[in-house]
Chain A
Amino acid sequence: MTNTSTSDANISLAERAWNIRHKSLRMGAVQKQGYVGQALGVSDVLAVSYFHAMTFRPEDPEWEGRDRFLLSIGHYAIALYAALLEAGILPEYELETYGTDNSRLPMSGMASYTPGMEITGGSLGHGLGIGVGMALGLKRKQSESFVYNLMSDGELGEGSTWEAAMSAAHHKLDNLICLVDFNDQQADGKSTEMLSSEPVDAKFEAFGWYAQRVDGNDIDGLVAAFDNARNYEGAKPRAIICDTKMCKGVPFLEEREITHFVRVDEEEWDLALKVLEEGKPS
């Protein structure tokens, strides 16, 4: 994947993405562990979701008029907390409670713990189906809101994902946008070597979706894809498959052997933060 530069208009999104990376790493440093590889990879997608595409009120996370954001991949909670902190939905000082007892920021995302965490993820392949129901419900209420479901490429292996994909198209859910973080990594190895879901965009199209595939670390490309997804006029659900690079923004981690739970040694947390800070967008 090539390094991408961001157009002037989207510089603030690059800053938001950097802030999400930085907060994720700081949370990882609190526990000396965490799914920071995934968080660093998906930060651009989250920045464009929260700071370009979505409507929400930070002071009222359950405001009826909000766009819904479902985190199907519970272990990406560290990344979503960073986005929720950056969006002002969670107070900044709670960052250092990450993963501690009685924290509102447990390591896996749960609806009952955290403002802004719409669903309980973790048992993978759940988000899209719940999204179908919420999208149906929003239509019943004649709401203009969108439902965004963020899932991983690994979740494409779950049959429930495809039940939901078929259902969303059948019910013409044009208010449902599925974001797939395609980092080609799952617990036992590369997703494409565990149970290949390729060609993913063609599969979504065959299931009746409007599908796009983009470089998930290219903010300009993401902005265009989100705009296309929101403005598409067909009565179809929309998928954006985002090819991302795990550990993006911290070169020494990017170059490390990538695994599901990327190894960061105890003394490397400070170094990772330092390296990230050197790459801060100006």
Chain B
Amino acid sequence: MSLSRRLSKWEPRKPVDASERQLTSAMIASLSAEGMPTVSAPFGHKLVELAKEREDIVGLSADLAKYTDLHVFAQAYPDRFYQMGMAEQVFVSAAAGLAKEGFTPFATTYAVFASRRAYDFIAMAIAEDNLNVKICCALPGLTTGYGPSHQATEDLAIFRGLPNMTIVDPCDALDTEQAVEAIAEHKGPVYMRLLRGKVPSVLHEIEDYRFELGKAKLLRDGNDVLFITSGFMTMRALEAADELAKDGIKAGILHTPTIKPLDVDTILEHCRKPGRLVITAENHSIMGGLGEAVASTLLRNSVTPAFRQIALPDEFLDAGALPVLHDQYGISTEAMIRQTKAWLG
């Protein structure tokens, strides 16, 4: 099934039979497949744990604490939580002010609002002064079927251009918990993409895996394809690699949860391995995200493997059911397998 914004809005549609109906994945979409282990609100709970030791940690939200798992922190530390209301400019500026007074603010809203609406304030009040503010945002990329108003498909592109900004795109619950700890330790501004609610947990199955800020991690090796991935696309790559293996295609996965600064050395090391198709996969527009960051890194260093990008198109995306949208736009596991096989020929 495929949706299209190109259908005329003047053309009436007939309801489909209830048995075939796909429900729109609005704000509560889960990314986990049937039977996959999940962790509830890993960001919020980890922040509460850190805040026990770190009195400098404060939380702010712009009327979206409940929807970014910051309500867990707000309940645990009501006097360290600032509800700033639906006012993203002062929300971000106040976080800057609190950082100037020595606190470590974790500021949460949706990715669209931080990146599009508060950008100038993040740039000048936070990044230029290199302040210790952690901007943690839910609904990154295509994680809601609500439509473009809530789909932050270009947030990485926006923040990659901002000096001093560290950008993190964690894969799952484990990654999120360890990333929260790492960014709390890091001195300087951070933009972190947030997975909230019941968050899948997959990386605990990888032996010795640990999130390290600024580091890409090889989760498995394979001679035919190297997936370079971030965010939940790493989870998809793990599933895709298992399926591809059944057809004799050996895929490696280099998980790159820190988008900036990019782990250039590790990426180059693994891309120098000859005869392997390099495929970047990201929950982001094909413009300006992980794929282009990797591509330019490779070219600048004269490392030129066969290279393809799995990413969202440079379009405003449809509203609809998330599984349908993920498949349509090429970031479902099945779509990833289809594209990989087609490119391998």
Contact of A112 among B92, B96, B99, B128 (CB under 8 A): B128
Q: Are A130 and B125 in contact (CB under 8 A)?
A: yes
Q: Are A136 and B124 in contact (CB under 8 A)?
A: no
User: Which of chain B's residues have a CB closer than 8 A to the CB of A119?
Assistant: 100, 125, 129
- The SS class assigned to the B binding surface is helix
Q: Is A120 an interface residue, CB under 8 A from the partner? A: yes
Q: Are A167 and B121 in contact (CB under 8 A)?
A: no
Q: Is A274 an interface residue, CB under 8 A from the partner? A: no
Q: Is B303 an interface residue, CB under 8 A from the partner? A: no
Q: Is B90 an interface residue, CB under 8 A from the partner? A: yes
Q: Are B98 and A134 in contact (CB under 8 A)?
A: yes
Contact code string A129-152 (vs B, CB < 8 Å = 1, else 0): 111111111101100000000000
Contact code string B118-143 (vs A, CB < 8 Å = 1, else 0): 00110111001110000000000000
Q: Are A126 and B124 in contact (CB under 8 A)?
A: yes
Contact of B85 among A131, A159, A167 (CB under 8 A): A167
Q: How far is the CA of A131 from the CA of B84 in the complex (A)?
A: 14
Q: Which residue of A lies closest to B92 (CB)?
A: A129
- The SS class assigned to the A binding surface is helix
Q: Are A129 and B100 in contact (CB under 8 A)?
A: no
Q: How far is the CA of A119 from the CA of B124 in the complex (A)?
A: 9
Q: How far is the CA of A126 from the CA of B100 in the complex (A)?
A: 14
Q: Are B100 and A136 in contact (CB under 8 A)?
A: no
Given known pairs A119-B125, A167-B94, the reply for A159 and B89 (CB within 8 Å) is yes
User: Which of chain B's residues have a CB closer than 8 A to the CB of A134?
Assistant: 97-98, 100-101
Contact of A120 among B99, B101, B102, B125 (CB under 8 A): B125
Given known pairs A129-B89, A131-B97, the reply for A136 and B125 (CB within 8 Å) is no
Q: Is A227 an interface residue, CB under 8 A from the partner? A: no
Q: Is A12 an interface residue, CB under 8 A from the partner? A: no
Residues in B90-122 with C-beta less than 8 Å from chain A: 90, 92-103, 105, 120-121
Q: How far is the CA of A140 from the CA of B55 in the complex (A)?
A: 11
Residues of A within 8 A of B (CB): 110-112, 118-120, 122-123, 125-126, 128-138, 140-141, 159-160, 163-164, 166-167, 170-171
Given contacts A112-B128, A129-B96, A140-B103, 8 further A-B contacts (CB under 8 A): A118-B100, A130-B97, A132-B93, A136-B94, A136-B98, A137-B103, A164-B89, A170-B85
> What are 14 residue pairs bridging A and B, where the CB atoms are less than 8 Å apart in the complex?
A111-B129, A112-B128, A119-B100, A120-B129, A123-B120, A126-B120, A129-B92, A129-B94, A130-B100, A132-B93, A138-B101, A141-B101, A164-B94, A170-B85
